[in-house]
Structure 1
């Protein structure tokens, strides 16, 4: 059955990690209504073949689309702010050298870490299991205010590092811990809820002391429907209160969209632009 060309106003389509795979995004959007309301769950750019086109296009969608910031988007902002250096396998230089680079960077840094629509909470990596939804909203707004404000470059100077969340944190450490939770989280210690920053494989490979953040026994948002990306080794997950939609577009998997509230899935097969083994070997050296 073909989709109608006009979307139902109560529907929203979430799209997984694009990472610069613009042609795959074009193919996926051909399967959706022309005026569909969209939420991108972050990592619009980097490592794929056309980060500049992807960023320009999503920005051009205006109010029709919203996006949450992902770790690769934040990396682009940090490099633009002089707070980080581009890596060998990055594909963000075209953005930084574009004639409209300033406008693109200003648009990207104004995007939130958390979006809510149709009873769904959209984030890039997840919600820290020790945070309530109200706390997550508060911290997302705090970071958004800093990144969208005039001192955004200063706030990003301390972005890199494996800082764990604590209510007592202030300044750059607090910002780093908040960004880590929203954009880098995968596994957590099942006793303490602390984030692990090294484990990136699938659930089956995790040591006994670690669980995915959404399986933490006392997760404070267990009754919240969360849609997220970030974790390609996790693949597609559709549970009552969890929908994971990073299906490895960059690695030759699929680019996935999910329609809420009925959770119909749409998939676009993708060419392989990067070898996941090359990245994992680099990390293990």
Structure 2
């Protein structure tokens, strides 16, 4: 067992990333949930910070902002990453140092980690894997569904790089009549506005949500499981207060 730190979206803020890393305990395993780049002032600085850490005790997931720079994709961000950064991301994707998903166990519970979360519809398209480890293994085979953006923000057909919190991710799982197979940890979006300390949801999602405004973590109770959001919402300016999610007594589940 080990201590795992889950780092949410960095969004081009190298200083915020360095600050977070300085506060981590030694020997911690880091899982970063994607969106290292764009929005902030120093995307290349973020990539340079991460590059020597990849592999070993650093697990790097892809976000939609990384995916736009991969072969065959269409860039959507209006301030594109310099060519050196694009080449770094493509190399990490090609050699497997950047993946779609990871799975961990802690305290007898399983969690699937992706950038945006695995919706009920996407889980069904995967064949309804019974464990987080099975789901991660299937997603890391890079099926077509990972690229699906959905028709709009509330579309639960969106894949795990694009699904939005609330209507697309949480509500369908809350309506599901079966057993929710595992918990989830994700970035990409959140059901609150951290900067202004306001809610972006209502109804059952809000009733089942607890918020750590200081750390910028959101926990939603879904069918006896926890779905934990770790996107700190750095935006253009970068959050002054935020922390990685620290999980003690945890283990990364690798494919058999």
Please confirm whether the aligned pair reaches a TM-score higher than 0.5, indicating the same fold.
Answer: yes
Higher helix share: 1
2:162 to 177, 184, 207: 184
Distance 2:27 2:135 in 1: 32
- 1:33 is displaced (CA, Å) by 1.4
Structure 2 match to 1:112: 99
Deviation for aligned residue 1:141:
4.2
1:77-96 to 2 correspondences below 5 Å: 77=70, 81=71, 83-85=73-75, 87-88=77-78, 90-93=79-82, 96=83
Shift of 1:218: 0.3
1:245 pairs with 2:230 = yes
Q: 2:140 aligns with which of 137, 144, 148?
A: 144
1:270 corresponds in structure 2 to none
RMSD (CA atoms): 3.6
Q: Which residue is equivalent to 1:256?
A: 243
Higher strand share: 2
- Equivalences for 1:144-183 in 2 at 5 Å? 144-146=140-142, 159=147, 162=150, 180-183=158-161
> Alignment length, in residue pairs?
206
Paired with 1:141 and 1:225, the residues of 2 have a C-alpha distance of: 16
TM-score, scaled relative to structure 2: 0.65
Q: Please tell me whether residue 24 in structure 1 is matched to residue 16 in structure 2.
A: yes
TM-score, normalising length: structure 1: 0.59
Shift in alpha-carbon separation, 1:219–1:44, aligned structure 2, 3 A: farther
Gaps of 5+ in 2: 195-216, 251-256
Residue 230 of structure 1, CA deviation: 0.8
Distance 1:232 1:187, change over 3 A: closer
Confirm whether residue 225 of structure 1 aligns to residue 183 of structure 2. Answer: yes
Paired residues of 2:64 and 2:161 also in contact (CA < 8 A):
yes
Among candidates 64, 75, 83, match of residue 71 of structure 1? 64
What is the CA deviation profile of residues 12-57 of structure 1, one whole-angstrom value per residue up to 9, with x for unaligned ones?
1111100111110100111111331100111111121111221232
CA deviations over 1:90-132 (Å, ceiling 9, x no partner): 3512xx245xx53442114532221012333211111112423
Q: Superposition pairs for residues 188-203 of structure 1, below 5 Å?
A: 195=168
* In 2: Cα distance, 1:243 partner to 1:223 partner: 15
Q: Which protein has the larger Cα radius of gyration, Structure 1 or Structure 2? A: 1
Q: 2:56 is paired with a residue of what secondary structure? A: helix
Give the conservation status (yes or no) of the 8 Å contact 2:13–2:41: yes
Paired residues of 2:190 and 2:229 also in contact (CA < 8 A): no
Which residue pairs with 2:3 in the alignment? 11
1:219/1:10 Cα in 2 relative to 1: closer, same or farther (>3 Å)? farther
Matches of 2:21 and 2:57, distance apart in 1: 13
* Post-superposition offset of 1:10: 1.8
